[in-house]
Amino acid sequence: MLCIPMDHGISSYPEEGLNRMDSVIDSIIEGGADGIICQKGVVSYHSKRTGWDGFVCHVSASTAHGGSNSQSKVKVSSASEANSRGATGVSGQINLGDENEPQMLIDMGTLTAEAHEEGMPVLGMVYPRGPNLVVLPNDITGGVAHAARVAYELGCHAVKVPWTGNAESFRKVCEAVPIPVLISGGPKGGDFSETLEIVRYAMAAGGAGVCMGRQVFGARDPAACIRQLREIIHGA
């Protein structure tokens, strides 16, 4: 799976690449991405504009202005609404260890129930990064394996998690669940060739692909980035 999240504009803006979304989305589609993840308003606009069937509606939101709640995602859409807006799948986010983690768990459970009724796949974006995060002494993944397990247990069909830093620990993440595990791209920076090398390690360790945003939509030539990622993930 090669998914490009472009939901960042609700969290903070300006964001490089999101100021020219028409051309960037066209480039990503041209390059051969499997999916593009956006908030519902963006899904409506671009699904109509492009006629493409690969849009995923992200239902979780927070902004940089939320103070201590800036990482507390709230549910702002439903699977049925996403379907009516042109999305073929939905995604939601949980930040493990956040003060409002319980509500995020409830929201994800609600989303997977709605999607089950609609027959839509769900991507869980689960990050172990809140101030209350507890990592067990024997967990070499730093909580990432638990993050993957949370998505699986709540009914997600695939999960996006951070890269753990090496193939040995990432293999433990993939072994924790029977659903596809995708790695996030993290902040933009560095050489894209280094990112490609990480993707190779992740795939060799059992990963199913990437859910990578800024490093693609913020690039000068998003289609070229997609083609390089496709070569690793799909072999074509």
Q: What are the pLDDT digits (tens) for 23-73? A: 999 999 999 999 999 999 999 999 999 999 999 999 999 999 999 999 999
The catalytic residue among 7, 73, 107, 152 is 7
127 is catalytic: yes
92 bridge partner residues: 124
Please spell the DSSP secondary structure of 74-87, one letter per residue.
EE---HHHHHHTT-
The catalytic residue among 73, 75, 107, 127 is 127
| Three-class DSSP category at 209 | strand
Burial of 206 (0-12, 13-18, 19+ CB in 10 A): middle
Residue 74 clears pLDDT 80, i.e. is over it? yes
Cis geometry, peptide bond prior to residue 14 (ω within 30 degrees of 0): yes
